[in-house]
Structure 1
Amino acid sequence: MRVLAAMSGGVDSAVAAARAVDAGHEVTGVHLALSKNPQSFRSGARGCCSREDAHDARRAADRLGIPFYVWDLSDRFAAEVVEDFVAEYAAGRTPNPCLRCNEKIKFEAVLERGLALGFDAVCTGHYARLERGEDGSVELHRAVDQAKDQSYVLGVLTAHQLAHSLFPLGPSTKIEVRAEAAARGLSVAAKPDSHDICFIADGDTAGFLDARLGRRPGAVVDADGTLLGEHDGTHHFTVGQRRGLRLGVPAADGRPRFVLDVTPVSGTVTVGPREALAVTHLAGTRPTWTGAVPAGRWRGLVQVRAHGGPVGATLELRKDELVVDTDQPLVGVAPGQAVVAYDDTRVVGSATISSTRSPALTS
């Protein structure tokens, strides 16, 4: 196959490209330039997409003896990922930009362009497994290394996209991948992993949002509406947050308070005890499916965070909304997050959480 290897400049994508070469594919490396003004160097493990990353990707491609190109997708990344991120926070929701990037950039923009150029598949360094049936069907499964599993952030992919994808690292652990990179003489073997949000390299999400949304003062209240303090903008808060509340009135029981709700229209942030964060009912919009659309009610597992644990649930698709009732309460679930559904290790699909309900109100 002709394979387009997305090379970020990190160890995972370099080894994934190397394995694609070993498998006999005709591999071309491509680095995605996602920033209009990239930094020269990374700040430790924060961010990515710096000039240093582009150079590291090119060096890895040279080591593998494959062609290498840089694709400028900065305009589309700004529109589809960064602007969406800001708009979601402005609306009181908590987005996951990694899912959005996978959906709109790596497996939509890149795959579309790759197929148009005659490539058969896109190869990435994600930790997930693909199982291909004799009938041509493709299933997305969790990686062997549970600590590195990235199937959650791939839950937005469609069956068509998965059919044209390769995830060579799925059967391996991170330790094995680093050892392989060193054995291959790849200079990125010991390079730190990227963490946090790639387009906020300094990690100051509040400052990033302030620069784009400005100061929007409002009230911090408890569940019965009692004023407890003030804030500079609802975009500083997400459901489940504990730090940075700046409350002038301590709780009567002395226990910490958490953000229970964010309402940008009124500028109100509601706080309360941790137990008030528990929910057992979720509804999600914009469902996507990795295979056939499930019919009726079914039993499965759901996960609401990239590194969260799965819980048992009953699920049902009602028109264009995925309705989920979990077997045990989930804490700190915010609208805007993704709920990803599994059948054991297989990813069934995902949806964007639009509403939640506590155990006391779940029918």
Structure 2
Amino acid sequence: MSRVVLAMSGGVDSSVAAYLLQQAGHEVIGLFMRHGEHSPQTACSVEAAPGQTAGKTQPAALPILKPGHKQGCCSASDAEDARRMADRLDISFYAVDFQQEFGRIMDYFVEEYLQARTPNPCVMCNNWLKFGKLWDYARGIGAEMIATGHYARIEEDEDGELGLFRGLDQDKDQSYVLAGIDRELFPRLRFPVGNYRKTEIRRIAAEIGMRVADKKDSQEICFVPDGNYANFVRRRQGELDTAGDFVSVEGEVLGQHAGIERFTIGQRKGLGIAFGEPRYVVRIDADSKQVVLGRKDDLACTSLTASNTNWLIDLPAAPGDPDCKIECDVKIRYLSVPVPATVQILPENRMSVEMAEPKHGVAPGQAVVCYRGDQVLGGGWIDN
């Protein structure tokens, strides 16, 4: 039996993950990761269940939230659901303050928009916080493993090495947002729901009487629950001087906009300017503050470069060697359809990608993730 620290969000996936780990004989410790801004609209407090002191065992190293301590990026019911599910399974439960660490994720989010890039905070959070700091806390209390409710799998690949694979439920697969985690963590990592379909997870939850069995999935970025990214950027950054011109791909000024943080590559709706035909954001220039608008064909892209790469397999040659290339499928956004590509792996954690067919909406700042079948080979951050 291993001691496993499980990140619990109050949703059905992590709640059933706790049950599955428990059924497998593990000692499960539920961890609610408190992070985000103080917000009256989304505040929540976490306290011990009646008759408990925040869990059956209380590691001194963990900062436990006091009753009434505000939580910013979850609803009040999320924290309560996580605690109730832990209590339902009779497992230890802790609420740990990650607000300071999570500030780094929110700062990254703001800085990327101000640099005319489209951030992906979920990937960044998984890379650094959820599978970095979480493991640090787990080791601090003597745990051998960490786990989450992601739809992904850790399995042996064809070479007998542990690898990251898509979740069995292709419609819920979350492997894209996990491509940046350290492969050295694989032996210590578990995704209990990865071999199930979502319908099965909800059925299990209902069968064992979990109140979250029919709880809706989260759809928005956790610290921007209203989905208004521009307002969040302005609220966190303060006064901004980001207004500028809409221009055509030919350079003609078409109108004015209120700030580059309001736009992302491929955007069509909410431009605040009308044309006789659909226009899309095809480029954003942070220096000139210009938002370039064009037709859908202007978004077509067959090549890109990426940096800060992370590889989850052994490379075929040294980076920069002409033989250090991979034939694979790539995804350029979480919900995009993979396309065949040739990836040339370059020095200094960079790569170039040549896609076999055009993709629309390739956005600097997003992650490009490489697949071979269901296995995640690695990925990086799109530069251009």
What residue ranges of structure 2 are gaps of 5+ in the alignment?
45-71, 318-323
Return the alpha-carbon distance in structure 1 between the equivalents of residues 95 and 84 of structure 2: 13
Partner of 2:137, secondary structure, is: helix
Shift of 1:133: 6.7
Does the Cα contact within 8 Å between 2:151 and 2:172 map onto a contact in 1? yes
1:342 aligns with: 371
**Aligned residue number for residue 150 of structure 2:** 126
Q: In the alignment, is residue 15 of structure 1 matched against residue 16 of structure 2?
A: yes
Instruction: Tell whether 2:201 aligns with 1:177.
Output: yes
- Matched-pair contact (CA < 8 Å) for 1:301–1:313: yes
Which residue does the alignment assign to 1:51? Answer: 76
For the pair 1:76 / 2:101, whether they are aligned, the reply is: yes
1:358 corresponds to which residue?
A: none
Task: Give the Cα–Cα distance (whole angstroms) in 1 for the partners of residues 252 and 191 of structure 2.
Answer: 52
Structure 1: gaps spanning 5 or more residues: 42-46, 356-363
Which amino acid counterpart does residue 147 of structure 1 have in structure 2? D
Q: Distance between the aligned counterparts of 1:133 and 1:344, measured in 2?
A: 11
Please list the CA deviations of residues 56-113 of structure 1 after superposition, one character each: whole Å capped at 9, or x if unmatched.
Answer: 111101111111111100110012x101000000000001111011111110111122
1:111 maps to what in 2?
Answer: 135
CA distance in 2, matches of 1:148, 1:297: 29
Question: Displacement, 1:49?
Answer: 2.1
Task: Provide the residue aligned with 2:161 in structure 1.
Answer: 137
CA distance in 2, matches of 1:294, 1:159: 17
8 A contact 1:294–1:317 mirrored in 2: no
Deviation, 1:161, is: 2.1
CA drift of 1:51 comes to 3.0
Give the CA deviation at 1:284.
0.5
Aligned to 2:380: 351
The range that moved more, 125-134 or 64-73, is 125-134
1:293 aligns with 2:315: yes
Q: What are the within-5 Å matches in structure 2 for residues 254-265 of structure 1?
A: 254-265=276-287
- Match for 2:91: what amino acid? I
Shift of 1:40: 4.1
User: Counterpart of 1:327 in 2: which secondary structure?
Assistant: strand
Counterpart residue number, 2:336 = 308
For the pair 1:332 / 2:364, whether they are aligned, the reply is: no
Query: Judging changes above 3 Å, is the alpha-carbon distance between structure 1 residues 339 and 286 closer, same or farther for their aligned structure 2 residues?
Result: same
Residue 360 of structure 1: aligned partner: none
Instruction: Give CA-to-partner distance per residue, 1:277-318, whole Å, 9 cap, x none.
Output: 010101100001123234312210101111211110001111
Decide whether the 8 Å contact of 1:287 with 1:351 is kept in 2.
yes
Q: Is the 8 A contact 1:141 1:346 kept in 2?
A: yes
Distance 1:137 1:83 in 2: 36
Q: Which amino acid aligns with 2:150?
A: H
CA contact (8 A) 1:157 1:289 kept: no
Q: 1:189-208 residue pairs with structure 2 within 5 A? A: 189-208=213-232
Deviation at 1:230, TM superposition (A): 0.3
Q: How does 1:227-238 map to 2 (within 5 A)?
A: 227-238=253-264
Q: How many equivalent pairs are there?
A: 346
- Taking structure 1 as the reference length, the TM-score comes to 0.91
Identity rate, percent: 42
Partners in 1 of 2:187 and 2:76 — Cα distance? 32
1:266 corresponds in structure 2 to 288
- Of 237, 259, 265, 1:239 maps to 265
Counterpart amino acid of 1:293? L
